[in-house]
Amino acid sequence: MIEIQLAALHEGQQAIVDSAARFKVLACGRRFGKTLVALDMLTNRLLDGQNVAYFAPTYRMGAEVWRELKQNLHPLIRTMNEHEWRMELYTGGVLECWSLANQAAETVRGRKYHFVVMDEAALFDSAEVWHGAIRPLLTDYEGGALFASTPRGRNWFWHLYLQGMSAGFPEWESWSLPTAANPHIKTTEIEAARSGMPERFYKQEYEAVFLDDGGVVFRNVERVCVGENAIEPPSRQERQEEEIQRYEGCYFGVDWGKDNDYTCVSVMTRDGRQIHLERFNQIGWAVQRGRLAALYEQFKPRIILAEENSIGSVNIEALQAEGLPVTGFTTTSKSKTPLIDGLALAMEREEVVLLNDPVLKHELTAYEMKRTSTGWSYSAPSGSHDDTVIATALSLWASKWYGGEMISFV
């Protein structure tokens, strides 16, 4: 007799497996163990001689599950096609794994299954792949499905989740289970994640909360924007030793602008106090560099972190030629996320004191996040500015990175 050893399920996982619902929607936090639930349900149906399929949004996800099932079921595999991710067991069960990265939505037509899994379902582009391609595959056997995912906003997966919560869909059942429902994950690790990432991401990734697709980025604006702008420092000849110490360890953040946008310079101390904010436009680049050089003479920052995009690189090279400690920051969708998240997290923790500046407070309050196909995008509302936000975020980044405190985002 051949025995297949399945991993032991914890209480939350077992409840999903034991449910008699035909369609099961599992919204769970990271490391809850949703893939283990999927493996258990697929394996048991294969042992019963059923045809099953696993669908993943990316090739890598599909490959990992294929390898796991292949290893677990090795003694029972009768035939296997590695290229097509297909195996037939001696029990009569047939497994096919699909990655939507290889256009499986079209090539899967014509098959029939007793059961399917859509893993990380929230990452699928839309409900079309379910309604138009996968759902008809269950018709012959009146088959069932498991949709398992961490939430990604209120998209089609959220609508499926609502169906499972409604009495109007008796064949459906939904669960919302946080990471903490997995008894094998230490509470201290979850708390470390809570303290190390912005609240909205913690709620989504660890508490399995369906967030709105847009919303407030910066919290505690009124609580942290209470600082006063530094009194204009005296000239270099008049400075006393204590006054020099007062500004020692400053860091600049610079966001460039000329005509419609503003150039903004934020001055941040190493301990997260914003002590100066200057904003100007409608003047030439040479004059702007002159103003920045004058601010450098006043505050003597250790680093000037300036946006490098577009005209920024030319200005940076010119300032470097004058001996100023300027380094560039290339703003992309990838680099902007940790930059903005760093400021948002510091404000949530009240680890920064920003200036009580009406323009800064307005831009922080109005700043938006919107969901895209790859994650979140950040920007000011259409027709508005974000120069004080970017400059402030750059100065904080500089104070942490170049001040010796490595920034880490989960």
User: Per residue in 47-67, pLDDT tens?
Assistant: 999 999 999 988 888 999 999
Q: What's the angle, vertex CA 147, arms to CA 141 and CA 153, rounded to 5?
A: 150
Q: Which residue has the higher pLDDT, 316 or 408?
A: 316
Instruction: Give domain status of residue 219, yes or no.
Output: yes
Same domain, 319 and 179: no
pLDDT exceeds cutoff 50 at 410: no
Q: Is the same domain home to 67 and 119?
A: yes
Could you tell me if residue 2 is inside a domain?
Answer: no
Residue 348 belongs to what H/E stretch?
A: helix 333-348
pLDDT, mean of residues 78-105: 87
| Structural domain contains residue 406 | no
Residue-level pLDDT at 327: 94
Residue at 250 is within a domain: yes
- Classify 110 as helix, strand or coil: coil
The span from the CA of 91 to the CA of 46, in Å, is 7
**Mean pLDDT score across all residues of the chain:** 87
Task: Give the torsion sign (CA, 386, 390, 395, 397).
Answer: positive
Is 147 found in the same domain as 29?
Answer: yes
pLDDT at 235 over 60: no
- Host domain of residue 145: 11-212
- Inform me whether the pLDDT recorded for 215 exceeds 70: no
CB 227 within 8 A of CB 273: yes
3-class SS at 345? helix
Per-residue pLDDT band for 136 (boundaries 50, 70, 90) equals: very high
Residue 222 sits in a domain whose CATH number is: 3.30.420.240
Beta strands in 239-365 (DSSP E): 251-255, 263-268, 274-280, 303-307, 326-329, 354-355
Grade residue 247 by pLDDT with cuts at 50, 70 and 90.
low
The span from the CA of 392 to the CA of 274, in Å, is 8
* More confident site: 322 or 4: 322
> Is 285 domain-assigned?
yes
Please state the rounded mean pLDDT for residues 38-45.
96
Domain end call among 212, 231, 253: 212
Residue 55 CA to residue 70 CA, distance in Å, equals 16
Task: Tell me the mean pLDDT in the region 286-297.
Answer: 92
Q: How far is CA 208 from CA 30, 120, 181, 205, in A?
A: 8, 13, 11, 6
Has residue 339 got a pLDDT over 70?
yes
Same domain, 278 and 139: no
- In a shared domain, residues 228 and 308: yes
Q: Where are the alpha helices (DSSP H) in 133-248?
A: 156-165, 187-195, 199-205, 221-224, 241-246
Confidence of residue 250 (pLDDT cuts 50, 70, 90): very high
Alpha-carbon distance of 383 to 385, in angstroms, equals: 7
Last residue within a domain, chosen from 188, 212, 236: 212
pLDDT(100) > 50: yes
For residue 352, being part of any structural domain is answered with yes
In Å, what is the CA distance from 219 to each residue of 29, 62, 347, 364, 368?
23, 38, 6, 9, 12
Claim to verify: residue 43 and residue 192 sit in the same structural domain? yes
- Whether the pLDDT of residue 236 is over 50: the answer is no
Distance CA 38, CA 45 (A): 11
Tokens of 28: 């769970």
Are the CB atoms for 255 and 264 separated by under 8 Å? yes
The answer on 208 and 219 residing in a single domain is: no
For residues 385 and 265, state if they share a domain: yes
Burial class of residue 253 (count of CB atoms within 10 Å of its CB; 0-12, 13-18, 19+) = buried
- Decide which of 155, 190, 212 is a domain's last residue: 212
The span from the CA of 201 to the CA of 194, in Å, is 9
In single-letter form, the type of residue at position 1 comes to M
Instruction: For residue 20, give the CATH number of its domain.
Output: 3.40.50.300
* Contact of 52 with 45, CB cutoff 8 Å: yes
**Nearest Cα to Cα of residue 350 among 255, 218, 258, 238:** 218
Beta bridge partners of 72: none
Residue 57 resides in a domain: yes
Looking at the structure, do residues 228 and 295 belong to the same domain, yes or no?
A: yes
Gyration radius from the chain CA atoms:
28
CA–CA separation, 146 and 136 (whole Å):
15
Q: For residue 328, what pLDDT band results from cuts at 50, 70 and 90?
A: very high
- For residue 167, name the pLDDT band (cuts at 50, 70, 90): confident
The pLDDT-based confidence of 194 (bands split at 50, 70, 90) is confident
Lowest-confidence region among 7-21, 132-146, 392-406 = 392-406
Within this chain, do residues 303 and 272 fall inside the same structural domain, yes or no?
yes
Specify the number of domains making up the chain.
2
Residue 311: how many CB atoms within 10 A of its CB?
14
How far out from the chain centre does Cα 308 lie? 24
In a domain, residue 280? The reply is yes
pLDDT score recorded for residue 375 = 65
Considering the domain architecture, whether residues 181 and 135 belong to the same structural domain is answered as: yes
Q: Which helix (DSSP H) or strand (DSSP E) does residue 78 occupy?
A: strand 77-81
Task: Give the Cα separation of 311 and 296 in Å (integer).
Answer: 20
164 and 220 in a single domain? The answer is no
Distance CA 197, CA 278 (A): 29
